[in-house]
Amino acid sequence: MRLALPGWTPGSYLIRDYVRQLEGLAVEQDGLALEPQRLEPSAWGVTCNPSGGLLTIRYRVLATELTVRTCHLDHEHGFLALAAVVLELEGERWSPHQLSCSLPQGWQAFVPLPRTNGVWQARDLDQLIDSPLEAGPHQPLPFTVLGVPHQLVCWAGQPGDERWLLEKHPALLDDLRRVCEACCRLMGVERPATGHYLVILHLVDEGYGGLEHDDSTVLIYGRDNLEKPNGYRRFLQLVAHEYLHQWNVRRLRPAELTPIDYHRPPVVPSLWFAEGVTSYLDQFLPLSAGLSEPDDLLSDLGEDLSRYRLTPGRAVQSLRESSREAWVKLYKADAYSADAQVSYYLKGAVVALCLDLHLRRCGGSLMQVLQQLWLSHGRWGRGYSEADLVQAFAASAPDLAATLPCWLQDLDDPDLDGYLSSVGLFLEAEMASTPWAGLTPRQESGGLTAARVVRGGPAERAGVMVGDELVALDRQRLKNPEDLQRALRAHQPQTLLIARRSQLRSLAFCSEPPQVERYRLKRVDDATDAQRIAQQRWLLQQPALVD
Q: Which residues of this chain interact with Zn ion, rule CB under 5 A?
A: 275
- For the bound state, the minimum distance from the C-beta of residue 217 to Zn ion, rounded and expressed in Å, comes to 10
Residue 241 or residue 377: which is nearer to Zn ion going by CB?
241
- For the bound state, the minimum distance from the C-beta of residue 278 to Zn ion, rounded and expressed in Å, comes to 5
Q: How far apart are CA 356 and CA 361, in angstroms?
A: 9
Angle value at C-alpha 360, between 238 and 417, nearest 5 degrees = 80
- For the bound state, the minimum distance from the C-beta of residue 212 to Zn ion, rounded and expressed in Å, comes to 6
- For the bound state, the minimum distance from the C-beta of residue 248 to Zn ion, rounded and expressed in Å, comes to 9
State whether residue 151 is helix, strand or coil: strand
Burial-class residue 462 by CB neighbours within 10 Å (0-12, 13-18, 19+): buried
Q: How far apart are CA 113 and CA 215, in angstroms?
A: 8
Comparing C-alpha atoms, which of 353, 389, 363 is closest to residue 277? Answer: 353
Residue 5 or residue 198: which is nearer to Zn ion going by CB?
198
For 48-65, give one letter per residue: b (16+ CB within 10 A) or e: eeeeeeebebebebebee
Residue 275 or residue 304: which is nearer to Zn ion going by CB?
275
Nearest residue relative to Zn ion (C-beta): 275
Q: How far apart are CA 81 and CA 72, in angstroms?
A: 9
Comparing C-alpha atoms, which of 137, 120, 138 is closest to residue 129? Answer: 120
Residue 161 or residue 275: which is nearer to Zn ion going by CB?
275
Q: How far apart are CA 246 and CA 243, in angstroms?
A: 6
- For the bound state, the minimum distance from the C-beta of residue 275 to Zn ion, rounded and expressed in Å, comes to 5
- For the bound state, the minimum distance from the C-beta of residue 245 to Zn ion, rounded and expressed in Å, comes to 6
Residue 134 or residue 275: which is nearer to Zn ion going by CB?
275
State whether residue 227 is helix, strand or coil: helix
Residue 130 or residue 275: which is nearer to Zn ion going by CB?
275
Q: Where are the beta strands (DSSP E) in 274-359?
A: none
CA distance to 5, 26, 34, 322, per residue, from 31 (Å): 24, 12, 9, 52
Q: Which residues pair with 469 in a beta bridge?
A: 449, 499
- For the bound state, the minimum distance from the C-beta of residue 273 to Zn ion, rounded and expressed in Å, comes to 11
State whether residue 8 is helix, strand or coil: coil
- For the bound state, the minimum distance from the C-beta of residue 254 to Zn ion, rounded and expressed in Å, comes to 13
Residue 36 or residue 132: which is nearer to Zn ion going by CB?
132
Q: How far apart are CA 497 and CA 445, in angstroms?
A: 18
Residue 244 or residue 423: which is nearer to Zn ion going by CB?
244
| Antiparallel, parallel or unpaired: β 133-136 and 78-80 | antiparallel
